[in-house]
Amino acid sequence: MLEFPTWKKVMLWGIAILGVLAALPSIASLTNNDWPEQLPNPTVNLGLDLAGGSHILLEAERAQVASKRLEDMEEGVRNAMRRAEPRIRIGDVSSENGELSFLLDDAGDIDRARAAIEDLMAGTGPVREWDLQVVDGQRFVLTQTEAGLSNAVDAAMEGALRTIGIRVDELGTREPTILRQGDTRIVVQVPGLQDPEQLKELLGKTAQLEFKLVEREATAEEVSRGFVPGGEVLPYADREVYQGTGVVVQRLGGIDGETLTGAIQTFDQQTNEPVVSITFNPEGGRRFATLTTQYTGRQFAIILDGEVISAPRMLEPIQNGQSQISGSFTTESANELAIQLRSGALPVDLAVVEERTVGPDLGADSIKQGLLAMGIGTLLVMALMIVTYGRFGIYATVALVINVLMLLGIMAALGSTLTLPGIAGFVLTIGAAVDANVLINERIREERKRGRRVMAAVENGYIEASRAIYDANVTNFIAGVLLFQFGSGPIKGFAVVLVVGLFTSVFTAVPLTRMWVAGWLRKTRPTDLNI
């Protein structure tokens, strides 16, 4: 018990000192002091509830990916059939209930049709993405496989992640976190954001831009029904001006926003209204030129996420691949749209399913109040320990201080996040960390009462108490890990503090105090203990 080889002492002191040093940069930053730049500075991250900021959870619908995929397939099939030599005529095309079906006009085309769509059906990976059935010799039915859909969802989410990354970057905020969560969710965390509304606006919009040929104005009744035979009815985005009316557009054969290379907010030269200027890539520019040449004088609907922003008449063909979008914008909303168009459309609609925002003032107040409460609590615990256990209490309180610092230091080194519940975790750890010393010291008291000599009593105290300390910490560890598994952000922060705190508190309360006690016993060889 009294024998502590030098290497062991060096190791114990080394770990303790390293842990404490690692905490210093965090303390400097929490108390708003400067930390010399040339020194390493692992700092504990502050959670959004302390630093202020927004946490937004976005979710996509699998069903929407499925229906979009089906729609793309329909367009692909139509093109493939048209391009076949000679053209394969099909009819009665429907994409409903997750399946695409069409009828060959001539049953003799069956092998050619099969060959024509073979490429479309082949996925990128080894899995089969579509099932093809031929009914009655000339009806083709294409259904998506689960695996194919999962691939598509995955690809859509990866695309969405990139798009969101670009949009958040455009806001110029520091250190945003953008992560996929599960199959269909994305978490966006932006610390210190002043205007969460703007962020939500930016993220929530799919920004699917389309240009489609207008057939005619739609009546309010058609708009509420949503479709007319052979065409698509779209409402105007600005309901106040257009009173719920809309236009009928040609369903296929338009241009979509994927062919854009640039979008920027400018002002219309004549009216001085805010507009968004867009630039097509060469292919998009060519298609735009062809369409506007073919349909000069007709109206084109500029459609954003299924709503018509405006439907200007093309007075002349547009050959230079540039155009502008106008339609009752403010400067901000035009700028927002420009960012969204630049970043590309989200491959799938995302809805905000959870949002948590904390203002920066509240966060700063919370830190102050939390640290104050923690300080008072620590002092009270220290006082109680010292009046109860005397010298052994002093060892315990020194261990407690090292414990708190090491806990902070390790969290900083691990790059963990300190949250508001995490501060409560610190306080709880302070209360609980002394438990090990209480157990040991009470045991030493008992052993002395039973008449053991000083050395034996201390030794037995440490040995006998260790069993319960070990078991108790393992169960706490189990609870802590489950808490971590369960929790969302702030709660995870609580769990991290509790779990890391278990390790630091056992380290400081058992081997460290034992070393000090041993050193003292060896030096003074007391015959009685005041405990």
Partner 1 sequence: MKLLKLVPDDTNIKFLKWRVPFFVVSILLIAASWALVMTKGLNYGVDFAGGLEVRATFTERTDAPVAQLREDIENLGYGSPVVQRFGEDNQVSIRVRLPDEVSADNEAAQEAANTVVEELQGNYPDFRLDGNDNVSGKVSGEFREDAVWALMAAMLAVALYIWIRFEWQFGVGGLFALFHDVSLTLGMFALFQIEFSLQIIAAILAIIGYSLNDTIVIYDRIRENLKKYRKMPLPELLDLSVNETLARTVMTSLTLLIALVPLLLFGPASLFGLTAGITLGIFVGTYSSVYMAGPLLVWMGVNSDSFIPQETVADKQEKKLRGEV
The reply on whether position 362 binds partner 1 by CB under 8 A is: yes
Q: Which is nearer to partner 1, 68 or 445 (CB)?
A: 445
**What is the 3 state secondary structure string of 21-54?**
HHHHHHHHHHCCCCCCCCCCCCCCEECHHHHCEE
Q: Which of residues 370-429 bind partner 1 (CB under 8 A)?
A: 370, 372-374, 376-378, 380-381, 384-385, 387-390, 420-421, 423-424, 427-428
Instruction: Decide if residue 356 touches partner 1 (CB under 8 A).
Output: yes
491 is a site residue for partner 1 (CB under 8 A)? yes
- For partner 1, the binding residue among 494, 501, 504, 518 (CB under 8 A) is 494
Among 498, 500, 510, 517, binds partner 1 (CB under 8 A): 498
Phi, psi of 393 (to 5 degrees): -70, -35
In the complex, the smallest distance separating the C-beta of residue 367 from partner 1, rounded to whole angstroms, is: 8
3-class secondary structure, 179: strand
Tally DSSP H helices, then E strands, for the chain.
Answer: 16, 20
Residue 179 binds to partner 1 (criterion: CB under 8 A): no
Q: Which stretch binds partner 1 (CB under 8 A): 18-26, 31-39, 197-205, 334-342?
A: 197-205
Six token digits for residue 218? 């739609």
Contact (Cβ atoms closer than 8 angstroms) between residue 203 and residue 352: yes
Residues 31-70 that bind partner 1 (CB under 8 A): 49, 57, 59
Specify whether the CB–CB gap between 112 and 121 falls below 8 A.
no
Cβ-count burial 286-299 (b if 16+ within 10 Å, e if not)? ebbbebbeeeeeeb
Q: Does 351 bind partner 1 (CB under 8 A)?
A: yes
Site string for partner 1, 2-31 (x = CB under 8 A): ------------------------------
Q: Does 238 sit near partner 1 (CB under 8 A)?
A: no
User: What angle, 0 to 180 degrees and rounded to 10, lies between the N-to-C axes of helices 146-170 and 331-343?
Assistant: 130
Each residue 458-477 as x (binds partner 1 by CB under 8 A) or -, in order, gives ------x--xx--xx-xxx-
186 part of the interface to partner 1, by CB under 8 A: no
From the number of C-beta atoms within 10 Å of its C-beta (0-12, 13-18, 19+), residue 242 rates as middle
CB of 487 to partner 1, least distance (A): 7
Binding-site size, partner 1 (CB under 8 A)? 76
- Which of 92-100, 246-254, 403-411, 492-500 is the region at the interface with partner 1 (rule: CB under 8 A)? 492-500
Minimum CB distance to partner 1 smaller for 167 or for 342: 167
Residue 482 touching partner 1 (CB under 8 A):
yes
Tokens standing for residue 504: 């630091």
Please compute Rg for the chain using Cα positions.
34
Mark 418-447 with x for binding to partner 1 (rule: CB under 8 A) and - for no binding: --xx-xx--xx-xxx-xx--xx--x--xx-
From the CB of 239, what's the least distance to partner 1, in Å?
Answer: 14
Distance CA 389, CA 436 (A): 13
Reported residue count of the chain is 531
Q: How far apart are CA 402 and CA 398, in angstroms?
A: 6
